[in-house]
Amino acid sequence: MNREEMKKTVLDYINKNDSVSYAELTHLFEENGYDYEGDLMSCSDQCEHVVFWSGWNGDAYDMLTELMHEGKIHREPTIFLTYLIDGGALSLPIVKRSINYKTDHWLPIVFRKGPERREGKKHGDTGKNRK
């Protein structure tokens, strides 16, 4: 499956399920034969040590960033149990509060359909990728 087809498949999946974890998207990529594996991490723009996910390539992360910039999806924090149910998690300490961490901590998130709905929060924290 090419990138544009996969992007549409991801968007359709999020629109149908409305709360989709990185673990679920990993399974979706595998089911569709999409080459997503890599050595990058998706991290917060606010604190580089807040990690959303790891193990994907730049193209896979960029696909989600594009969908966020287009206002088609947004990201929200979720509970750790979501990832246990979905069959994947990171082996990092979990973010407990809003501080500037000095070491990597995982913030479990899900993707939801539509633009971000929270007032007062800027739309720009789409994350960045790092090795």
Q: Averaged over 44-66, what is the pLDDT?
A: 97
pLDDT of 20 higher than 60? yes
pTM: 0.87
Distance in Å from the first CA to the final CA of the chain: 26
- pLDDT tens across 74-122, in order? 999 999 999 999 999 999 999 999 999 999 999 999 999 999 876 544 4
The confidence score (pLDDT) of residue 124 equals: 40
- pLDDT tens across 23-38, in order? 999 999 999 999 999 9
